[in-house]
Amino acid sequence: MVFLILLVLLMAAAIGWSIGANDAANSLGTAVGSKALTLRQAIILIVVFGFLGAFLQGAYVTKTIGKGIVPIDQLSKDLGLYLAVVAMFSACAWVVLATYWKMPISTSHSIVGAVAGAGLSIGAPVRWKALSDIFICWIFTPVGAAILGYIIYRLLKNLFYRIIPRKYLKFVITPLIIISGCYVAYTWGANDVANATGVIAGAGVLTPKVSVVFGGLAIILGIMTWGYKVIETIGTEITQLLPIMALAAQLASAINVHVYTIFGIPVSTSHSIVGAICGVGLVRGTRVLNLRIMKDIVLCWLATPFISGVISFIIFKGIRFFLKV
């Protein structure tokens, strides 16, 4: 039992690290791309505000991941722990691979798919209604962010260009980009920490509050060691971001994710920021979007919950066969 608990904590740390590595870009990648911040400055701000979001509001989505998809707390202690280990390992494996490819995927999709796959492999009662609601929100996340991004960019463009002389525009917009990026980091920490902590809280290994702190620290480690890879994709490879575009994209993404977080719905901050960047890019026309990289990103999005779910299903079946769990 002690070994299993240690293994659960190890895998929670591993998935927290992978979340930090892949999702750090969602917060201030646009600020780096618009030259408002250096990569080092962005990483420091992501660490601070991402942890604040995780600590202050991370418990909302943690409950959904831990108990809302498969009632892990209602399984036997050993079975719940095995499910936690397998689900986190499967989600982590896919996130690490995507990060190596510099693809901004959804860690939320990965862990939800992995939990559902593990639950199916043991015949646990998967809550399909909750799962279908989450899937619907996943579809609306990038669409909503794109619409918000498009509207906010048009409003800001008209507002700033009319009342601020162009030579002073940069000095006004740059601080706003940094502030809005910190807000994105906060909402990211609040929503995505559950991907690392929901399962261990559901399995009863740690209390929700302690698990949020544990997951937040693991995410910080991921940001600091490997977070730069996907930041490059978000910041420069989808479209070339003008400062005002970065500001609009960050505001749209943060508002979008924060609303879902308050309702305890695990959505993708990756989907949100990519959708917002596309929305602001569309103001200037589709020609400014890198459609090749967009196609690759969308394919990875679609594959994420299914790949992590299949991995989880197969591994758990194997464990039950050989260990007679």
Per-residue pLDDT tens over the stretch 85-143: 898 899 999 989 888 887 777 777 888 899 899 989 888 778 888 788 878 888 899 99
pLDDT of residue 257: 92
Is residue 67's pLDDT more than 70? no
pLDDT of residue 90: 93
Q: Is 102 left (phi over 0), alpha (psi -120 to 50) or beta?
A: left
Query: Which three-class secondary structure state does DSSP give residue 269?
Result: helix
Q: Which of 43, 45, 26, 8 is nearest to 215 (CA)?
A: 8
Is residue 173's pLDDT more than 70? yes
Summarize the confidence of residues 165-182 as an average pLDDT: 86
pLDDT of residue 161: 81
Where does the pLDDT of residue 62 fall: very low under 50, low under 70, confident under 90, or very high at 90 and above?
A: low
Q: What's the CA gap between 302 and 206, in Å, rounded?
A: 32
Per-residue pLDDT tens over the stretch 7-38: 888 988 888 888 888 776 667 777 777 778 88
pLDDT of residue 25: 64
Q: What's the CA gap between 69 and 317, in Å, rounded?
A: 19
Per-residue pLDDT tens over the stretch 142-166: 999 999 999 999 999 888 888 888 7
Lowest mean pLDDT among 67-71, 144-148, 264-268: 67-71
The answer to whether 222 touches 24, Cβ cutoff 8 Å, is yes
Amino acid (one-letter) located at 146: A
Is residue 206's pLDDT more than 90? no
Q: What's the CA gap between 300 and 217, in Å, rounded?
A: 27
Q: What angle do CA 50, 55, 60 make, to 5 degrees?
A: 100
What is the three-state SS of 169-222? HHHHHHHHHHHHHHHHHHHHHHHHHHHHHHHHHHCCCCCHHHHHHHHHHHHHHH
pLDDT of residue 164: 83
Summarize the confidence of residues 261-265 as an average pLDDT: 86
pLDDT of residue 253: 92
Summarize the confidence of residues 44-49 as an average pLDDT: 88
pLDDT of residue 114: 92
**Would you give the DSSP letter of residue 241?**
P
Tell me the pLDDT of the chain averaged across its residues. 82
Burial of 84-99, coded b for 16+ CB within 10 Å and e otherwise, reads: bbbbbbbbbbbbbebb
pLDDT of residue 285: 67
Q: What's the CA gap between 141 and 297, in Å, rounded?
A: 15
The answer to whether 58 touches 190, Cβ cutoff 8 Å, is yes
Is residue 306's pLDDT more than 60? yes
pLDDT of residue 251: 94
Proportion of the chain in helix, strand, coil states, percent, rounded to 5: 85, 0, 15
pTM of the model: 0.78
- The pair of three-digit structure tokens given for residue 133, joined into one six-digit string: 């609601």
Summarize the confidence of residues 298-308 as an average pLDDT: 87
Where does the pLDDT of residue 287 fall: very low under 50, low under 70, confident under 90, or very high at 90 and above?
A: low
Summarize the confidence of residues 56-63 as an average pLDDT: 76
